């Protein structure tokens, strides 16, 4: 394996910069249109999540680790209160030593309409492009846009302020290598 990436401190700083830019872009877009005002009783439109990604195949684990750092920002572009569902647009970063994935997805999430407690479960699916780079001896090491999708189950806590979720990403192969895996995250909604 070749090490193309900068030292850990520089990588963390770059990641923080990318995350800050995405969060600022989401916050800016949330305040620019009156059509995006969230109605009473609907969910908070922005979610920020942090967690781990567990690659399902050994070749992806060899390129990074068994558990990889992940972060995600999500913006609700449509909240269908009468159908108990919403449409999130999200961008994330999953990064290990020689494997990095940037999922850019849109989904449809459904929630329980009959739950009287402040803890509400949700489930759903999504599709998108996964900008993937795997730098090993038997791969090209170039960033490629791969098609993929996800299935998600989660739990909103304390009236939707916080969340925990498990998301499985199915990603098309990168140079005949499987990079799909399970993402476990916790976060907050704003």
- Indicate the domain borders of the chain: 8-32+44-189
Say which CATH class 8-32+44-189 falls into: mainly beta
List of E strands, the chain: 46-55, 68-80, 85-95, 99-111, 120-134, 144-157, 162-171, 181-189
> Per-residue pLDDT tens for 146-167?
999 999 999 999 988 999 999 9
Residue 105, SS3?
Answer: strand
Q: Mean pLDDT of all residues in the chain?
A: 83
- Going by C-alpha positions, the residue among 179, 152, 176 that lies closest to residue 165 is 152
Q: Considering the chain, what percentage of its residues have pLDDT values greater than 90?
A: 60
Does residue 21 carry a pLDDT above 60? Answer: no
> Per-residue pLDDT tens for 29-67?
444 444 444 444 567 899 999 999 999 999 899 898 899
**Residue 160 Rama label (left phi>0; alpha psi -120 to 50; beta):** left
């Amino acid at each position: 394996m070749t090490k193309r990436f900068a030292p850990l401190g520089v990588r963390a700083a770059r990641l923080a910069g990318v995350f800050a830019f995405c969060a600022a872009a989401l916050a800016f877009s949330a305040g620019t249109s009156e059509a995006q005002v969230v109605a009473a009783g609907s969910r908070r439109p922005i979610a920020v999540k942090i967690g781990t990604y567990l690659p399902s195949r050994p070749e992806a684990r060899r390129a990074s680790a068994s558990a990889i750092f992940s972060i995600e920002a999500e913006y609700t572009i449509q909240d269908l209160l009468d159908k108990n569902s919403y449409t999130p647009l999200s961008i994330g970063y999953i990064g290990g030593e020689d494997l990095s994935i940037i999922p850019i997805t849109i989904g449809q999430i459904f929630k329980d309409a009959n739950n009287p407690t402040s803890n509400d479960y949700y489930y759903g699916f999504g599709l998108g492009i996964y900008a993937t780079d795997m730098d090993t001896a038997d791969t090209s090491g170039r960033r490629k846009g791969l098609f993929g999708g996800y299935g998600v189950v989660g739990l909103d806590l304390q009236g939707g302020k916080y969340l925990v979720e498990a998301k499985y990403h199915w990603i098309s192969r990168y140079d005949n290598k499987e990079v799909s895996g399970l993402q476990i995250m916790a976060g907050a909604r704003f």
